[in-house]
Every structure is written in C-alpha cells, then in structure tokens.
Structure 1
C-alpha cells in the first residue's frame, strides 16, 4: 500500500467514524475509498464492515451515559445478533444486485419516517399509548429489521435505526442515538466474527481504517450530546436523503 493510499484511508476512516456516530452512512465514504485503492467490490464491502466496527465501539463509549434503561436494552441484544448474522449470510450466499435495488428506497423511506415522525405518531399512536406487549413486539421487530439490513449492507444503518426506534420509543433523540450506537456496535461485532471466518477480508486496509474510525466515532458521539434535538434530527434527515439519493443513482445510473 502506497503512502497516498494510506492517507486516503485514514481520512475516510476519521470522517466515517464521526458521521456514523452522528447520523450513520459513514460506510459510503470508506467503501468508495477501498474501491479507489484497487479492492474488488466484495472484498471492499467485507473489509469495510470489519474496519468501521471499532468506530461503533468508541461511539458507545462516548454516549454510554445517555443509554435508556440498561435492562431493557439487554433484551434487544439477542435479536440484534441473530438479525445481523442472518444479514451476513444473505450477503455471502445471495446475489447482491437485487438487494441493491431495494436499499435506496429503504433508506429514503426511513429518512421520511424520521422527518415526519410527529405526523406518523398521530396516525399509528404515540409509544406511550401502546400497551407493554405491543411496544415490546414493535421494538423487537424494528431492531430485527435494522440488524438484518446492517449485516447485509450496513450503509445508513444509523439512519434506519434512529427512524425505527424513534417511532416506537418514548425517549429523547439523544437517548435514541445512544441506543443506535450500541446496536450498531453489536451488528458490527457480529459481522466482524462472520466475515473474519468466512469472508475475504483485506486485513491491511482494516489496520489503517479501523484506528481512524475509533477517533471519529468518539468525537461524533460527544458532538451529538451538544446538538439541540431539532438540529440533530435535521442533520440525520439531510444525511439520510443524500445517502438514499446516492444509492439510487448507483443502483439505476448505469
């Protein structure tokens, strides 16, 4: 690896870690960077998933105090692990093209859910009005869908988790973002385990990108705590829209 290529990967990792902590979508920076230095698409996707995981862990460290009730959070972890494992299996055994065509619409849909959250809550009901059983089922379903998506593709996972969790949790956006960081980290650890065993990981690029995502992830998590809820929501919606449109262009632009 040349020095210029290493510098590109370091910059991409720092930016991706910060963006993942704030809104999600940092993989859309690191993945093209890995492609730019010559990795084929599948090894680049797998290596990217492994490389950004440490950034999720540092985001958890930066936002741990904002997590909702820890006992309730612990109940979500088995669902997250199983969902992420299923997503990884889909990536390794199925053609990617079909899912790539669906992903842009999922991202744009999740962004719209977050942008129009108040109106949607008036239609489907506020989380505090749901019964305990219905709230638990809705939360587990949202986490499962997000985890499968994260294990398969990963880009904009944060946007999708924030949108889904905000719809079923009666928590502040900062607390939802902290939970998003934790679930993203669990998805990341699951993908690392699966891809390290069965995927074509390029460990040299991981060694360069991963430390940069750690720094960016911690700084991004601290930044989230300082942003007003309206500003944070706007930032996530802007990122989600931009990511969705970019993915749409990639899927149908050829």
Structure 2
C-alpha cells in the first residue's frame, strides 16, 4: 500500500464516519475507494465493515443527549438489529457473490421514499391511531421490529444506505423528533456493524491495515458528524437523507 493510498483510505474513513452519523451510506465512500485500489470485493466489504465500527460507536456517543429516555425503545429494536446482523453476515459468507446485492437498489429506493413522505405518512398513522383510542406516542408501531430485523440483515451483508432505511422506518413507525430517531439509528447501525464485524474477524479474510486506517478516520468522522447532525433543522436533515439515498441508488443502478 502506497502513502497516497493510505491517506486516501484514511480520508475516506473520515467522510464515511461523518456521513454515517448524520445519515448513513458512508460505505459508499470507503467501499468504492478500496475497490479502486484493487482490494478484492469481499475483503474490501469485510475490512470496511470492521473499520467503520469505531465511527459508529463515537457517533452514537455524540448523540447521547438525544438517547435520554429511549432505553426501552433501543433495547427492543437492538435485539432485532443483532439477530439481523448475524443472519446478514452469514449470508455474505455462504451465498454466491452478488446474490443479495441484486435487491439493494429496491431497498435504497424504498428508504428514500419512506423518508421523503415520512411527515405525511406519520400524520396519517398518528391520526388513525388516535381515532382508535390508541396511544401513538408511547411505543413504536408493531411492524417496526421485523422491519428493523430486515435492515439488520441488509446491514450485516453490505450496509450501504442502512441508515437511510432505518431513518425511513423510524420516522414513520416511531412518532418522535427526527434527531431522537437519528440517535436511535446510530445505535442500531453501530450494533449491526459490530456484530457482523466480530463474525468476520473470526471466519473471514481481513486486511488489518485497511481496518486501522478506516477506523481512525471513522472515529474522527463520527465525532464530527454528531456535532454537525444535531445542528441541522429537521427539513435540512431529511433533505440530506434523501439526497444521499438517491446518490446511493444511482451508484448501484449505473455500476
């Protein structure tokens, strides 16, 4: 690995850590960078996943104020993310290369639509629940847990735009402020990366030089992203999510 490549991977890690904390889809920065330097796809995916774990943890820590009062919600959804991550990591190791990636554009497109129309859909969901004399602001909708499980599977396998999907799901199914949902998203996405990373360390081919560079960059990016993301108004944050999702979708369609 040349000095130029090392610096480029480090900077890609900073960018990925920042965007993962604010939105998600940081993998779309680091993964193509690794491929451009000739790293085999599976090795790149595995090494990238492990390297991004510290950034996810620092991003979640940076949003710790928004996590206050959300312990029950986080624990319930964390179980879904962990199970999904195990399944996704196993699928990466046993399925033919590209088998699951075929549905990635559909998942990203769905996430973008969910985020784009989230305010209108959320209002309708809340109004319908109120008419049924339910308490829409006490707990997430019943469909959120299995959907988070599905995003965990996706995240364990590849993970690009996992944050977009999670923000779409949480925005519609968990009636609370978008910044608080973003904090939950960081915990869930970070747990998926961590669980999948542990599995990859044990059984997969890991390039530890790449892991170290991405980890340092992502850690710095996670802290930066937390400071930046908290200051964004809901409309701006939602716009960023949609733009990143569209870029991710375009990347997979034209590749």
Q: Distance in 1 between matches of 2:75 and 2:175?
A: 18
Deviates more, 1:112-121 or 1:199-208: 112-121
Deviates more, 1:228-237 or 1:133-142: 133-142
Deviates more, 1:165-174 or 1:92-101: 92-101
Q: Distance in 1 between matches of 2:128 and 2:219?
A: 34
Structure 2 unaligned regions, length at least 5: none
Contact preservation (8 Å) 1:146, 1:161: yes
Counterparts of 1:132-147 in structure 2, within 5 Å, are 135=140, 137-147=142-152
Q: CA deviation at 1:32?
A: 1.2
Q: CA deviation at 1:155?
A: 0.5
Structure number with the higher helix fraction is 1
Give the corresponding residue for 2:207: 202
Structure 1 unaligned regions, length at least 5: none
TM-score, structure 1 normalization: 0.92
- 3-state SS of paired residue (1:96): coil
- 3-state SS of paired residue (1:21): helix
Query: Which runs of structure 1 show a deviation greater than 3 angstroms over 4 or more consecutive aligned residues?
Result: 121-136
Question: What RMSD, in angstroms, separates the aligned Cα atoms of the two structures?
Answer: 1.9
TM-score, structure 2 normalization: 0.92
Q: CA deviation at 1:146?
A: 1.2
Query: Which of 153, 157, 172 in structure 1 is aligned with 2:177?
Result: 172
Give the corresponding residue for 2:55: 55
Give the corresponding residue for 1:107: 108
Q: Work out the number of aligned pairs and report it.
A: 250
Q: Distance in 1 between matches of 2:124 and 2:102?
A: 29
Q: CA deviation at 1:127?
A: 8.6
Q: Distance in 2 between matches of 1:127 and 1:177?
A: 25
